[in-house]
Amino acid sequence: MIDLRLEIDPLPIVEPLVVRLRDTLASCETEHDATLVEANGTRLEYDYNGFSLGLRRRGNESFDGDVILVFPGQRTAHRLIRSASPHNTFLVTEQCDQLCVMCSQPPKRHHADLFSQFALAATLAPLKATIGISGGEPLLHKERLFSMIEAVASIRPDIRFHVLSNGQHLSRDDVARLVSIGTERILWGIPLYAADGSTHDRIVGKDGAFDKLERGLAILMKAGALVELRTVVMQQNKDRLGDLADFLFTRMSYIEVWAIMQMERVGYGRMNWASSFQDTSIDFVGIAKAIDISTARGISVALYNFPLCSVPGQYREFALSTISDWKRKYLDICDKCDSRTACGGFFEWYSHNEGFASLGAL
Amino acid sequence: MTVFPLKFRPAAHGQVLFADDAGGFFRSDEDFLFRYAHDHLTDNDNAFLLRNGHAFEEAGDLAYAGFEYRFASRLYAPGPLDYVILVPTLRCNLACGYCQVSRVNEHTPGFDWSDETLDAVISFLGGITTPKMKIEFQGGEPTLRLDILKKIREFCRSRFDRCEFVVCTNLQEVSDEVWDFLGLPDVFVSTSLDGDVATHELQRTFKSARTAKFVENLDAAIARLGSDKVSALPTIDARRPPEPASIIDAYTSRGMHSIYLRPVNFQGFARKRYDARASASAWNAYHTRFIDELVEHNWTADVPAEEYYFVHCLRRILRAGHNGHVDLRNPNIVGHGYVVIDHDGKIYPTDEARMVSRVGQFDLSMGDVFKGMSTATVDALNQEASNNFHPDCVHCTYQAYCGVDLVDDLSRYGRIDVPKHETDFCQRHIAIFDKIFEMMYSDDAKVRKSLAIWAGVPNFDASLARWHQ
């Protein structure tokens, strides 16, 4: 597991600070860059506009191009952007209006608005980076979110966003704005768990969610938005994937991809693991059917978070390596596996004695 | 709840196939047809229709918008011009009985691009602003003018970010220089192998020595360039076709697993020799026999094979937006996404249009490379190139999957208003779609295995061909 926090010397600041770390002065392009001046064992010292910024590293980590966020008085900094990683996500809010049984990031009541800091961080990201926007529910702060994306787009048109949202807070009035932001700039990751409203609503813990989501998806279609439809497979919906495939084809042929996902054993996902985790290594029938139907109809399907050896051979090509590097691990059985480099492995918090029953080196 | 209009067609065993304007379909029985026609749909009927995408609750809801999207994405919208077919010479070193392209003998003067024509073609290509370009060299035998091929390639590589060149050659005489050109990484070979070798000789080469030379060159091309860079088409005379198995063997034994059966074309020399006008039924019978043979082949073969056009039609039924083939599009807008430049520098919307013009039926040219392109004539034709509101097509169950080919109609009948069901195009496509639906509703394991392969999935799930009772 890669720690997304860094130990730093407290800074004399009163506002949250966004800084990009650079190894050389030559690569500093903005007033937000700090240059490495001394590396002394695990302690790195940077020059930030004449101030000293000290932080500690583990091993030989490079932070060149990374963007960190520092709060006043704190001894840890948040690594908002790791320049060498494709997995950079801004947690823009922890508020949410759903209580999904598999939620890996349970909601909190309080919201700290850091959109200005996130906007600045995004403008310091590497060329053509895609930045994840996650929550909570980002669209609860729709105006701030759209403003942030617009601000970044005006300075860094090369940056793309991958927004994870429940899709229920859009109105017809947003279509023009989505178009003006540029539909290619945002990939919307929207979860839908079943084609029938009652099953979906039960899974997300919110009455009427399905109806609202249907309206949101129609609005995204009108706007020409790019949508990654996300379905976590669980005991609650495993027998309904064929129906969902039909629903997606008839209602949402416009989606970029249908991501069928495995559960993450953290947050509510950990709490509800026994009643929700579906062992797809021994029962893949519903997923196979969903893939067969959708692929024949030209809907692109991908499996996220499935270890390759848990997927039957014929369907392995659909399994992508999707677990973010910082929370990915491999098991002992992976040591002998020839497919390890192509495999996304397991979540850091995966527990094998409660996990897949039928795995093995390929 | 409102049901989108359903069109229907009798199927086997008293069943009825239903389809809507977005291409959604299902099979049911005559009782359902009666209920539908008399507005007596049951709750069960309504639930099925809503779930299966044939109905909506209110305009603008997700079911409605999803239908709109599927309907719209079946319509073909031409992209920018990025595909140009060039005919640098009409001369050819073969004289196939059915030659589709009105060729002339190898040593006839006056049928090649002049230097001025080449310059004008290059400046025409230079005016195209797309980043990618596909050039297809046809003829005649284009390798007789390798010098032109080289100059065009050189220019395109300097002008466009990505280029692809296809040489349509008979592979009869291949010099070392031609081999070098064909071996370039962005050059692909398209040739003809008329089924088995005996048929090829009968139709194309006529002499065994020439046949042997061709076969040697074909095998050498596959060995040198790889089977992924060499494609071949069999042109079939439906009155005396080779056995399907012999074609499948001739192709698959050479590592070519996609076979695109082409009926002898009615145009060019062909129309003088053969009566292809009433051949649709013979063709349809042969084509279905060929598909059945492929199903048998795929049941045991290590590497499966396909008939390219059949697979294209299958995918057009299953998917929206599958518009990759110029012969089957709706509306079939021509003269925009791709054009043909003839040996005299004249521009045509399609290869068939070139031949319709050449035999003097109609002038479908779109100007020339000297004075510039004009789309006025083809745009008049394009006005009629949609089947959505055509009185003969609106009630056809297969309308959403089908297309229009007005140039074919012009060439065969001299007009575009012949009742569609009397046209070769309609008869051939009705037959293909009938065959596909018969197969999709079959529970024969062999059929389902081939369907899965052709649809590109591990299993052809039964719910892809739904029943309603």
Q: Residue B277's pLDDT band (boundaries 50, 70, 90)? A: low
The CATH number that domain A88-354 falls under is: 3.20.20.70
CA B233 to chain A, closest CA, distance in angstroms equals 26
Q: How many CB atoms lie within 10 A of CB B195?
A: 25
* pTM of this structure: 0.92
Q: Domain B83-376, what fold?
A: TIM Barrel (3.20.20)
Q: Give domain limits for chain B.
A: 1-73, 83-376
**Cross-chain Cβ contact B460/A292 below 8 Å:** yes
**Cross-chain Cβ contact A250/B60 below 8 Å:** no
Report how far residue A99's alpha carbon sits from residue A204's, in angstroms, rounded to the nearest whole number.
5
Between A195, A250, A296, which is nearest B460 by CB? A296
What is the reported pLDDT for A326?
Answer: 84
Chain A residues 112-151 with CB within 8 Å of chain B: none
What is the reported pLDDT for B279?
Answer: 74
Residue of A nearest to B465 (CA): A293
Q: Give A-chain residues touching B25 at CB under 8 angstroms.
A: none
In one letter, which amino acid is B429? H
What is the reported pLDDT for A329?
Answer: 95
CA A126 to chain centre: 18
Report how far residue B77's alpha carbon sits from residue B337's, in angstroms, rounded to the nearest whole number.
9
**Which positions of chain A have pLDDT values less than 50?**
none
What is the reported pLDDT for A28?
Answer: 85
Q: How many CB atoms lie within 10 A of CB B438?
A: 14
Between A214, A291, A297, which is nearest B62 by CB? A214
Q: Give domain limits for chain A.
A: 5-79, 88-354
pLDDT in tens, B139-195: 889 999 999 999 999 999 999 999 999 999 999 999 999 999 999 999 999 999 998
Least confident of A319-323, B84-88, B361-365, B427-431: B361-365
**Cross-chain Cβ contact B464/A215 below 8 Å:** no
* pLDDT, greater one: B238 or A230: A230
What is the reported pLDDT for A103?
Answer: 95
pLDDT in tens, A61-110: 889 999 999 999 899 999 999 999 988 999 999 999 999 999 999 999 99
pLDDT in tens, B41-95: 999 999 999 999 999 999 999 999 999 999 999 999 999 999 999 999 999 988 8
Chain B residues 270-329 with CB within 8 Å of chain A: 315, 318-322
What is the reported pLDDT for B224?
Answer: 94
B57 in reach of chain A (CB within 8 A): no
A251 in reach of chain B (CB within 8 A): yes
**Cross-chain Cβ contact A252/B73 below 8 Å:** no
**Cross-chain Cβ contact A297/B464 below 8 Å:** yes
**Cross-chain Cβ contact A253/B320 below 8 Å:** yes
CA A347 to chain B, closest CA, distance in angstroms equals 28
What is the reported pLDDT for A317?
Answer: 96
Whether the per-residue pLDDT at B276 is higher than 60: the answer is: no
CA B464 to chain centre: 24
Task: Give the β-pairing of B338-341 and B83-86.
Answer: parallel
**Cross-chain Cβ contact B319/A250 below 8 Å:** no
What is the reported pLDDT for A202?
Answer: 97
CA A296 to chain B, closest CA, distance in angstroms equals 5
**Cross-chain Cβ contact B62/A252 below 8 Å:** yes
Q: Give A-chain residues touching B321 at CB under 8 angstroms.
A: 298
**Cross-chain Cβ contact A252/B61 below 8 Å:** no
Check: CB of residue B318 under 8 Å from CB of residue A298. yes
Residue of B nearest to A252 (CA): B66
Q: Give B-chain residues touching A314 at CB under 8 angstroms.
A: 458
The 8 Å CB, 24+ separation contacts for B272-280 are: B273/B97, B273/B98, B274/B97, B274/B98, B274/B237, B274/B239, B277/B412, B277/B424, B279/B238, B279/B239, B279/B424, B280/B424, B280/B427, B280/B428, B280/B431
What is the reported pLDDT for A266?
Answer: 94
What is the reported pLDDT for B66?
Answer: 97
Between A218, A291, A293, which is nearest B65 by CB? A218
Helices vs. strands in chain B: H and E counts, helices first: 17, 20
Nearest to A191 by CA among A240, A146, A137: A137
A293 in reach of chain B (CB within 8 A): yes
Q: Give B-chain residues touching A247 at CB under 8 angstroms.
A: 51
CA B291 to chain A, closest CA, distance in angstroms equals 19
% chain A with pLDDT above 90: 91
Cα A220 to Cα A176, A214, B45, B253, B413: the distances in Å are 11, 10, 30, 50, 47
Nearest to B284 by CA among B428, B393, B388, B78: B428
Nearest to B212 by CA among B236, B260, B261, B220: B220
Q: Give A-chain residues touching B67 at CB under 8 angstroms.
A: 250
Whether the per-residue pLDDT at B203 is higher than 90: the answer is: no
Q: Residue B272's pLDDT band (boundaries 50, 70, 90)? A: low
Phi, psi (rounded to 5 degrees) for A132: -75, 140
A196 in reach of chain B (CB within 8 A): no
The interface predicted TM-score of the complex, written ipTM, equals 0.92
Q: Give A-chain residues touching B313 at CB under 8 angstroms.
A: none
% chain B with pLDDT above 70: 97
CA A301 to chain B, closest CA, distance in angstroms equals 11
Check: CB of residue B234 under 8 Å from CB of residue B244. no
Q: How many CB atoms lie within 10 A of CB A248?
A: 25
Task: Give the β-pairing of A301-304 and B2-3.
Answer: unpaired
Report how far residue A340's alpha carbon sits from residue A335's, in angstroms, rounded to the nearest whole number.
8
Burial, A28: exposed, middle or buried (Cβ in 10 Å; 0-12, 13-18, 19+)?
middle
Secondary structure of chain B: what % helix, strand, coil (to 5)? 45, 15, 40
Q: Residue B275's pLDDT band (boundaries 50, 70, 90)? A: low
Report how far residue B63's alpha carbon sits from residue B1's, in angstroms, rounded to the nearest whole number.
11
CA B60 to chain centre: 36
Whether the per-residue pLDDT at B103 is higher than 90: the answer is: no
Q: Give A-chain residues touching B61 at CB under 8 angstroms.
A: 214-215, 218
What is the reported pLDDT for B278?
Answer: 64
DSSP label of B204? I
Report how far residue B425's alpha carbon sits from residue B417's, in angstroms, rounded to the nearest whole number.
13
CA atoms within 13 A on the CB side of A267: 15
Average confidence score pLDDT of chain B: 92
First vs last Cα of chain B: how many Å apart? 19
What is the reported pLDDT for B469?
Answer: 87
Best to test chain B binding among A239, A284, A292 (most B CBs inside 10 Å): A292
Between A217, A251, A296, which is nearest B318 by CB? A296
Between B52, B69, B464, which is nearest A293 by CB? B464
Q: Which residues contact B49 (CB under 8 A, 6 or more apart)?
A: B1, B3, B41, B55
DSSP label of A280? T
Phi, psi (rounded to 5 degrees) for B180: -60, -40
